[in-house]
């Protein structure tokens, strides 16, 4: 057996394999397994296809995997016998192997069923999980082999891919059961806007809410004890033990797990403080044990506080906090959740339970008695199943409960207190659950009457399960109070069921338009918390008109404390910009009108993949004003100060130019669905006189228009909208509405041709001939105007789908008239040369070879080349990184990468970027400049692609370097020389040839890129100077934009040089 493997992200790839292995399994009527006769079972071998649909198989296969992972997990945690799966399989092989594979499987599955009957399943797995597997002779052989691989119990261990028993599932950070469920066992869960929340995201938000709020209470305890204020200390400890948190859409429990761990750590911290205080008091009195304290009042008070927390004392008088009853008390006191999905709640129960076991050393070491599942019972009592958004108003529930169910409520409350006193006895909570179930029937009838009175359709009861918050959480909400913290990641979709949607629209006061469910959850959660609210949501509610009343509710009644951008990788495929917001009801509001918060700021930053918060900027709350209450997290105080200075004397773009978006051809009022879907009036080739060039947005690069990307559009078609001729003919600037992934910021180019372009392109036509088009182009492509676009509209700052609007462009401040023209002409020339070189490179490379090697292979081969061989055959002269040994350098992750070539030597450097901070990761010198350019272009192609590149190892492994059939050296020299010889020649390159006026020859892509970067820095320095910015202000702009530190320093130096030259003149 191989060593046990830690559960990490790789296990999810193996989950896919395990399910695929068992996907072929035939499932028969369970009675056949019990019939006993092999011939009878064999005669039913085809029944699987009759009794199940093909679409059910993946779910059943996943259910089997889920069962075996569950058994293995409980063993790994010490809750049941460790190694049970492997030992049972091996025992059945010994006892039944001589009878054949089917006999082994039958005996093993019978043991599994017995295990499920005898151990806690927390509603997660069925107790007859294997009963309907078809064990006919035709199925048994394949089934046996596949179960060996899935379980990881093959005696030969020939398969290098691990099985279930080879993993150690004590790493709860990986929500294995949640992933199985969300991937296989629930239809359309993603369609309901429900996504797994990574542990680092949930822990970060819990730190900002639960940890912060609880730390305030523990600090009160410490302050009171140190001041000998015992009444205050008892009050603080009571508040501590009454502390409550809720996730109203808890799913599989990511936030609840993080909350439990945080609360448990705070218990340990407070307990340790009290223990130290007791020990210090005894030592100062010369006493060594509790028996010698002579009833010291202070010691007794401290002991009383410890008992209230839940400590126990052993026979030697030593206090302990790590006991299973305390775990049950913590869950009962603090952890609450709601979800519409009962199976998800079962996984949440398991995940919190395992977290509790992991944190309690005594439980983990001695195992948990199945006869005393107090933790699971406590979780069942505090996790409610239902639709958190649908039900009677809380006050009506409280009134109904007091008037009609006072005795039952008293019994429920008494049962909770009894359980807290004696958690080993779960009968009281079970009786309380039965009483709540009976009361719920009355509330359902009351809710139906309420719907009729409110003229709402009672059909909502057929669409969802209403949830009555005060009934489930009477100990928190019964007196009209609320939860100390509410956290979560609610669904991000619009309610699809018509009657439920109508109910929500008429029930929630602070919504308008077509709200996503998360906006309703924000409103509902805010109303039920008395402390801190933390939620992961899309960013749209911070600005859209439909959420204005929601913003007003939150900002005028609490303080918006933090906005954290969640990495795109956290919710891959969601397609929305996500944020984590923290709202505090304990502090003054954020609407900018409280004298107490004149200088209060909202912290804005990023949640790093490590879970840490990196502050990027702050927002003054005085900038959030009625009636819109618009919050722009992408612009801070320093950025606004710079743009205010720019606005002081500059004209607006709308004052000197007209702007419009391009055409919209297709529209349902003019065209059929088929015409729209098939784009029938577009063609990749010119098929008639009515077809003209259609310039798409992706043809626009900074300073150049890539005509190779053109397609054609039929001008005889009926256009829904087309711009006036003056925006199409003659000189104009074209601006992309959405920038490319490779180039952030505004992207503009200049054209003098007649062009037709779609609405994703904005045309700018000067109305004041004092200005040069080139000067205006330089301003729009500058980093300073990019910052101005961020300040005037948050959509340009979004990580996903950033865009610039007509309104933003029209409001940009314009300074100067012609000063930038010479620099812009140079940048236009360089942009044309770069595009031509890249196109020629691609053409010659594709024509010459399809053979490639990774950069890792090339570096490794060079290292293995004997010194006796010709050095001219080795592409790389020297490299700072060895692919086989420099693991620390190769595996460290960075947010981005950049490759920079040398103009003097055939060498390049790969940098890893963390924001604006650059780290030199690799420096390589090549045999000649042709080789440098081949590798440089190959690395650039990788970094511009959609490939996942997280560390240098990825760069080396995924960079595909073309090598040809000859040696890499010969291929590089031949191909680059072909490119150089073709440069500036041919009809395809008329625009470039007319604009060339080259400064260097022959063509060299590294030198072209270096000259472009230098010219762009010179232009940015000139723009800073044009607007009168100081060096410090220019540094602020570049820092905010996360410009690479080397570029930042060189740009600021060029600005200083310009300003000194002007002063000297």
630-683, pLDDT tens digit by residue?
888 888 888 888 999 999 889 999 999 999 999 999 999 999 999 999 999 999
pLDDT band with cut points at 50, 70 and 90 for residue 866: very low
Q: Which of 57-66, 588-597, 759-768 has the highest mean pLDDT?
A: 759-768
pLDDT band with cut points at 50, 70 and 90 for residue 589: low
**What whole-number percentage of the chain has pLDDT above 90?**
48
**Cis-peptide, bond into residue 1002, ω within 30° of zero:** yes
Closest CA to 224 of 239, 214, 235, 213: 235
> If you average pLDDT over every residue of the chain, what do you get?
84
Among the residue ranges 126-135, 708-717, 745-754, 942-951, the one predicted with the least confidence is 126-135
Pick the residue with more confidence: 432 or 123? 432
Closest CA to 264 of 356, 365, 347, 362: 356
Residue 989 has pLDDT above 50, yes or no: no
Burial class (CB in 10 A: 0-12, 13-18, 19+), 544: middle
CA distance 388 to 390: 6
Report yes or no: 487 and 209 within 8 Å, Cβ to Cβ.
yes
Pick the residue with more confidence: 544 or 1049? 1049
Q: What is the CA radius of gyration of the chain?
A: 34
Pick the residue with more confidence: 282 or 804? 804
Report yes or no: 1017 and 1051 within 8 Å, Cβ to Cβ.
yes
CA distance 801 to 576: 8
CA distance 888 to 945: 25
Among the residue ranges 572-581, 664-673, 763-772, 882-891, the one predicted with the least confidence is 572-581
Residue 872 has pLDDT above 90, yes or no: no
CATH number of 651-818: 3.90.220.10
| C-alpha triplet 207, 209, 211: angle, nearest 5° | 50
Domain chopping of the chain, boundaries: 5-185, 490-633, 651-818, 830-1048
User: What integer pLDDT is reported at residue 994 of this predicted model?
Assistant: 43
Report yes or no: 585 and 529 within 8 Å, Cβ to Cβ.
yes
Q: Which of 7-16, 364-373, 462-471, 593-602 has the highest mean pLDDT?
A: 462-471
Residue 865 has pLDDT above 70, yes or no: no
What mean pLDDT comes out for the span 909-927? 92
Residue 868 has pLDDT above 50, yes or no: no
Among the residue ranges 300-304, 485-489, 779-783, 819-823, the one predicted with the least confidence is 300-304
| Cα dist from 753 to 264, 537, 698, 818, whole Å | 69, 45, 18, 22
Q: Which residues pair with 749 in a beta bridge?
A: 734
Burial class (CB in 10 A: 0-12, 13-18, 19+), 99: exposed
What mean pLDDT comes out for the span 995-1016? 79
CA distance 977 to 931: 11
Pick the residue with more confidence: 1061 or 316? 1061
Closest CA to 329 of 255, 436, 243, 408: 243
Among the residue ranges 287-291, 902-906, 1000-1004, the one predicted with the least confidence is 287-291
User: What integer pLDDT is reported at residue 225 of this predicted model?
Assistant: 94
Closest CA to 571 of 251, 186, 195, 200: 195
What mean pLDDT comes out for the span 533-547? 92
Give the containing element (helix H, strand E) for 775: helix 773-780
Residue 33 has pLDDT above 50, yes or no: no
Judge if pTM exceeds 0.85.
Answer: no
Residue 267 has pLDDT above 80, yes or no: yes
Structure tokens at 902: 């040398």
Q: To the nearest 10°, report the CA torsion of 996, 997, 1001, 1006.
A: -60
Among the residue ranges 44-53, 646-655, 658-667, 928-937, the one predicted with the least confidence is 44-53
* CB count in 10 Å sphere of residue 479: 10
Q: To the nearest 10°, report the CA torsion of 998, 1000, 1005, 1009.
A: -80
DSSP 290: G
Pick the residue with more confidence: 174 or 886? 886
Burial class (CB in 10 A: 0-12, 13-18, 19+), 594: middle
CA distance 291 to 1063: 85
Strand, coil or helix: 899: strand
Report yes or no: 183 and 15 within 8 Å, Cβ to Cβ.
yes
CATH number of 490-633: 3.40.50.150
pLDDT band with cut points at 50, 70 and 90 for residue 4: low
**What whole-number percentage of the chain has pLDDT above 70?**
84
Strand, coil or helix: 196: coil
What mean pLDDT comes out for the span 86-97? 93
| Cα dist from 486 to 259, 524, 533, whole Å | 10, 10, 5
Distance spanning both ends of the chain, measured CA to CA: 81
* CB count in 10 Å sphere of residue 1001: 9
Which are the contacts of 490, defined by CB distance < 8 A and separation ≥ 6?
248, 249, 517, 518, 521, 522, 535, 537
Sign, Cα dihedral of 789, 795, 797, 801: negative
Closest CA to 1019 of 837, 783, 803: 783
Report yes or no: 315 and 221 within 8 Å, Cβ to Cβ.
no
User: What integer pLDDT is reported at residue 987 of this predicted model?
Assistant: 44
CA distance 814 to 785: 9
User: What integer pLDDT is reported at residue 739 of this predicted model?
Assistant: 80
pLDDT band with cut points at 50, 70 and 90 for residue 841: confident
User: What integer pLDDT is reported at residue 869 of this predicted model?
Assistant: 47
CA distance 951 to 936: 17
User: What integer pLDDT is reported at residue 52 of this predicted model?
Assistant: 46
Pick the residue with more confidence: 754 or 206? 206
Closest CA to 161 of 20, 63, 17, 61: 17
Pick the residue with more confidence: 45 or 24? 24
Residue 860 has pLDDT above 90, yes or no: no
Q: Which of 196-200, 363-367, 747-751 has the highest mean pLDDT?
A: 747-751
CA distance 734 to 749: 5
Give the containing element (helix H, strand E) for 618: strand 613-620
Residue 531 has pLDDT above 70, yes or no: yes
What mean pLDDT comes out for the span 771-781? 97
Report yes or no: 912 and 921 within 8 Å, Cβ to Cβ.
yes
Structure tokens at 503: 């109910």
User: What integer pLDDT is reported at residue 375 of this predicted model?
Assistant: 73
Strand-pair category, 876-879 with 682-683:
unpaired
What mean pLDDT comes out for the span 534-558? 92
User: What integer pLDDT is reported at residue 75 of this predicted model?
Assistant: 87
User: What integer pLDDT is reported at residue 174 of this predicted model?
Assistant: 60
Residues in the chain: 1065
User: What integer pLDDT is reported at residue 493 of this predicted model?
Assistant: 85
Ramachandran region, residue 494 (left: φ > 0; alpha: ψ -120 to 50; beta: rest): beta
Strand-pair category, 682-683 with 711-714:
antiparallel
| C-alpha triplet 220, 524, 470: angle, nearest 5° | 75
Structure tokens at 215: 């730390």
Closest CA to 869 of 796, 967, 941: 967
Residue 954 has pLDDT above 80, yes or no: yes
pLDDT band with cut points at 50, 70 and 90 for residue 993: very low
Residue 534 has pLDDT above 90, yes or no: yes
Ramachandran region, residue 131 (left: φ > 0; alpha: ψ -120 to 50; beta: rest): alpha
pLDDT band with cut points at 50, 70 and 90 for residue 278: confident
Among the residue ranges 1-15, 214-228, 673-687, the one predicted with the least confidence is 1-15
- The rounded Cα 652 to chain-centroid distance in angstroms is 38
Q: Which residues pair with 914 in a beta bridge?
A: 917
CA distance 836 to 875: 26
Report yes or no: 631 and 543 within 8 Å, Cβ to Cβ.
yes
């Amino acid at each position: 057996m191989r060593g046990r493997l830690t559960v990490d992200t790789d296990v999810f790839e193996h989950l896919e394999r395990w399910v695929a292995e068992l996907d072929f399994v035939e499932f028969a009527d369970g009675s056949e397994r019990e019939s006993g006769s092999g011939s009878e079972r064999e005669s039913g071998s085809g029944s699987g296809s009759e009794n199940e649909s093909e679409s059910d198989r993946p779910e059943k296969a996943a259910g089997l995997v889920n069962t075996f992972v569950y058994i293995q997990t409980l063993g790994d945690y010490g809750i049941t016998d460790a190694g049970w799966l492997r030992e049972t399989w091996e025992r059945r092989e010994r006892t039944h192997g001589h009878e054949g594979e089917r006999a082994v499987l039958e005996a093993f599955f019978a043991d599994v069923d017995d295990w499920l009957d005898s151990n806690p399943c927390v509603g997660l797995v069925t107790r007859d999980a294997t009963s309907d597997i078809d064990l006919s002779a035709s199925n048994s052989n394949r089934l046996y082999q596949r179960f060996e691989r899935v379980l990881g119990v093959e005696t030969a261990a020939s398969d290098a891919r691990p099985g279930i028993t080879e993993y150690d599932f004590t790493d709860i950070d990986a929500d294995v059961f949640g992933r199985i469920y969300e991937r296989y066992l629930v239809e359309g869960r993603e369609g309901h806007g429900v996504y797994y929340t990574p542990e680092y995201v949930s822990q970060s938000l819990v730190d900002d809410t639960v940890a912060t709020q609880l730390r305030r209470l523990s600090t009160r305890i410490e302050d009171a004890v140190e001041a000998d204020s015992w009444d205050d200390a008892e009050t603080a400890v009571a508040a501590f033990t009454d502390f409550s948190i809720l996730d109203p859409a808890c799913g599989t429990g990511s936030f609840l797990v993080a909350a439990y761990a945080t609360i448990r750590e705070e218990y340990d911290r407070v307990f340790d403080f009290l223990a130290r205080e007791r020990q210090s008091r005894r030592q100062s009195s010369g006493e060594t044990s509790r028996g010698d304290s002579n009833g010291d009042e202070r010691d007794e008070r401290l002991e009383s506080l410890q008992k209230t927390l839940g400590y126990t004392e052993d026979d030697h008088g030593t206090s302990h906090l790590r006991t299973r009853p305390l775990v049950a008390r913590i869950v009962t006191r603090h952890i609450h959740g709601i979800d519409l999905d009962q199976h998800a709640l079962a996984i949440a129960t398991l995940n919190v339970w395992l977290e509790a076991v992991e944190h309690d050393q005594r439980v983990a070491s001695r195992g948990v008695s199945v006869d005393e599942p107090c933790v699971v019972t406590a979780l069942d009592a505090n996790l409610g199943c239902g639709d958190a958004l649908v039900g009677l108003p809380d006050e009506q529930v409280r009134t109904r409960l007091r008037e009609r169910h006072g005795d039952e409520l008293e019994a429920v409350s008494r049962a909770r207190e009894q359980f807290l006193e004696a958690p080993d006895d779960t009968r009281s909570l079970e009786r309380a659950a039965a009483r709540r179930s009976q009361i719920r029937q009355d509330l359902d009838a009351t809710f139906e009457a309420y719907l009729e009175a409110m003229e709402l359709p009672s059909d909502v009861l057929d669409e969802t399960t209403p949830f009555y918050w005060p009934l489930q959480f009477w100990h928190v909400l019964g007196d009209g109070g609320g939860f100390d913290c509410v956290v979560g990641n609610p669904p991000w979709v619009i309610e699809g069921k018509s009657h439920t949607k109508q109910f929500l629209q008429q029930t929630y006061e602070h919504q308008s338009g077509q709200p996503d469910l998360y906006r309703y959850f924000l409103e509902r959660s805010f109303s039920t918390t008395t402390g801190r609210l933390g939620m992961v949501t899309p960013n749209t509610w911070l600005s859209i008109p439909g959420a204005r009343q929601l913003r007003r509710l939150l900002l005028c009644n609490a303080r918006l404390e933090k906005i954290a951008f969640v990495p795109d990788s956290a919710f891959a495929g969601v397609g929305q910009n996500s944020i984590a917001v923290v709202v505090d009801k304990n502090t003054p509001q954020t609407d900018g009108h409280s004298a107490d918060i004149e200088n209060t700021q909202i912290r804005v930053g990023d949640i790093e993949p490590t879970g840490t918060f990196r502050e990027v900027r702050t927002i003054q709350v005085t900038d959030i004003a009625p009636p819109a209450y618009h919050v722009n997290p992408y612009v801070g105080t320093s950025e606004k100060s710079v743009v205010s200075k720019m606005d002081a004397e500059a004209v607006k773009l709308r004052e000197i130019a007209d702007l419009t978006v391009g055409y919209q051809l297709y529209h349902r009022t003019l065209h059929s669905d088929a015409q729209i879907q098939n784009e029938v009036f577009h063609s990749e080739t010119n098929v008639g006189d009515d077809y003209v060039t259609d310039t798409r947005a992706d043809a626009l690069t900074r300073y150049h228009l890539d005509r190779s990307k053109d397609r054609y559009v039929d001008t005889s078609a009926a256009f829904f909208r087309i711009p006036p001729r003056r925006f199409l003919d003659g000189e104009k600037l074209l601006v992309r509405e959405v920038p490319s992934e490779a180039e952030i910021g505004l992207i503009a180019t200049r054209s003098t041709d007649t062009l037709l372009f779609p609405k994703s392109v904005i045309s700018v036509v000067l109305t004041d001939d004092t200005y040069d088009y080139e000067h205006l182009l330089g301003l729009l492509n500058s980093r300073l105007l990019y910052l101005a676009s961020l300040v005037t509209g948050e959509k340009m700052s979004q990580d996903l789908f950033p865009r610039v609007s007509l309104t933003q462009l029209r409001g940009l401040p314009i300074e100067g008239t012609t000063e930038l023209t010479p620099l812009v002409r140079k940048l236009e020339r360089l942009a044309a040369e770069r595009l031509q070189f890249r196109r020629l490179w691609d053409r010659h490379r594709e024509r010459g070879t399809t053979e490639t090697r990774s950069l890792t292979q090339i570096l490794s081969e060079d290292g293995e080349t004997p010194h006796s061989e010709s050095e001219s055959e080795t592409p790389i002269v020297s490299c700072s990184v060895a692919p086989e040994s420099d693991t620390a350098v190769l595996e460290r992750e960075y947010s981005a990468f950049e490759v920079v070539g040398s103009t003097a030597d055939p060498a390049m450097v790969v940098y890893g970027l963390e924001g604006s901070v650059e780290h030199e990761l690799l420096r390589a010198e090549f045999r000649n400049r042709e080789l440098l350019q081949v590798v440089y272009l190959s690395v650039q192609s990788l970094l511009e692609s959609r490939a996942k590149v997280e560390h240098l190892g990825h760069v080396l492994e995924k960079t595909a370097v073309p090598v040809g059939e000859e040696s890499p050296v010969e291929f590089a020299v031949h191909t680059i020389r072909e490119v150089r010889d073709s440069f500036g020649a041919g009809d395809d390159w008329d625009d470039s040839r007319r604009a060339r006026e080259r400064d260097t020859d022959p063509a060299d892509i590294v030198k072209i890129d270096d000259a472009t970067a230098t010219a762009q820095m010179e232009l940015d320095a000139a723009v800073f100077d044009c607007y009168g910015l100081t060096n410090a202000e220019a540094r602020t702009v570049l820092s905010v934009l996360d410009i690479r530190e080397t570029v930042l320093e060189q740009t600021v130096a060029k600005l200083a040089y310009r300003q000194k030259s002007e002063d000297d003149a």
